[in-house]
C-alpha cells in the first residue's frame, strides 16, 4: 500500500468508474446498507466533498472513502463527516487514518472550527480510530425522525 493516495472532489463530476467503485463500497458500512443509484452518487460531489483513497495516485482503484458535509452558522464553519468506509480486504493498513488525516487537514485549510461525526458505540474499529485522532465523545442524545411521504 506504499502508493496509496487520498484525493477529494468538490463541485466536479466523479467519473463512471469511480461512481461504480463507491456504489460497491457503500454496503460495507457497518450495520449494512443498501447502496444508492449511480446518478445519486455522481451528484453527491456537486454539493458535498467526497474523499477517496486509491491504491495508486490518480489512477488507482478506490478502496476507501468518506463524505464531508460543510455547514455554516453564526459566521462559523464546521464539517460533518459521514460514510467513512474502507473496503474489507484493505482494512488495517492505515487507510482509514489517512482519509481522516486528510479530512482534518481540509477542515483547517477551509477555516472550519470543528469536525462532527457519529458512530455506533459498538463499532470498536471506528471508535478507536476517531479517539486516536483526538475526537472526544460528546454527551448528547442523537435523534432522528423519519418523515413518511404522503
Ligand atoms: C473504521 C474503518 C474505516 C477503519 O479503517 P482502517 O483502514 O481499517 O483503519 P486503519 O488501518 O487506518 O487503523 C487506524 C486505527 O483505527 C483503529 N482500528 C482500526 N481497525 C481496528 C480494529 N479492527 N479493532 C480495533 N481498532 C481498530 C486503531 O486505533 C488503528 O490504529 P493502530 O493501527 O495504530 O492501532 C474500517 O474498519 C471500516 O471501513 N469499517 C466499516 C465501515 C465503518 O464502520 N465505518 C465507520 C462508520 S462511522
Ligand 1: which of 91, 100, 121, 127 to mutate, most ligand atoms within 8 Å of CB?
Answer: 91
Taking a C-beta distance cutoff of 8 angstroms, is the pair 7, 52 a contact?
A: yes
- Architecture of the domain made up of 5-132: 3-Layer(aba) Sandwich (3.40)
Q: Who lines ligand 1 at CB under 6 A?
A: 28-30, 84-86, 91-97, 119, 123-126, 128-129, 132
In sequence order, the 6+-apart residues with CB closer than 8 A to the CB of 30 are 120, 123, 126
Residues of the chain below pLDDT 50: none
Site to substitute for ligand 1 among 129, 131, 134, 135, most atoms within 8 A of C-beta? 129
Distance 63 CA to ligand 1 centre (A): 13
Predicted structure pTM score: 0.94
DSSP state of 25: H
Amino acid at each position: 500500500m506504499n502508493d496509496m493516495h487520498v484525493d477529494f472532489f468538490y463541485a466536479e463530476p466523479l467519473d463512471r468508474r469511480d461512481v461504480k467503485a463507491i456504489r460497491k463500497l457503500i454496503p460495507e458500512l457497518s450495520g449494512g446498507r443498501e447502496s444508492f443509484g449511480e446518478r445519486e452518487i455522481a451528484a453527491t460531489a456537486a454539493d458535498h466533498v467526497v474523499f477517496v483513497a486509491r491504491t495508486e495516485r490518480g489512477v488507482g482503484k478506490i478502496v476507501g472513502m468518506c463524505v464531508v458535509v460543510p455547514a455554516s452558522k453564526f459566521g462559523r464553519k464546521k464539517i460533518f463527516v459521514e460514510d467513512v468506509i474502507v473496503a474489507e480486504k484493505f482494512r488495517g493498513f492505515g487507510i482509514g487514518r489517512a482519509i481522516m488525516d486528510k479530512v482534518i487537514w481540509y477542515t483547517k485549510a477551509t477555516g472550519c472550527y470543528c469536525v462532527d461525526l457519529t458512530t455506533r458505540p459498538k463499532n470498536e474499529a471506528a471508535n478507536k480510530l476517531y479517539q486516536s485522532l483526538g475526537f472526544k465523545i460528546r454527551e448528547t442524545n442523537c435523534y432522528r425522525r423519519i418523515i413518511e411521504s404522503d
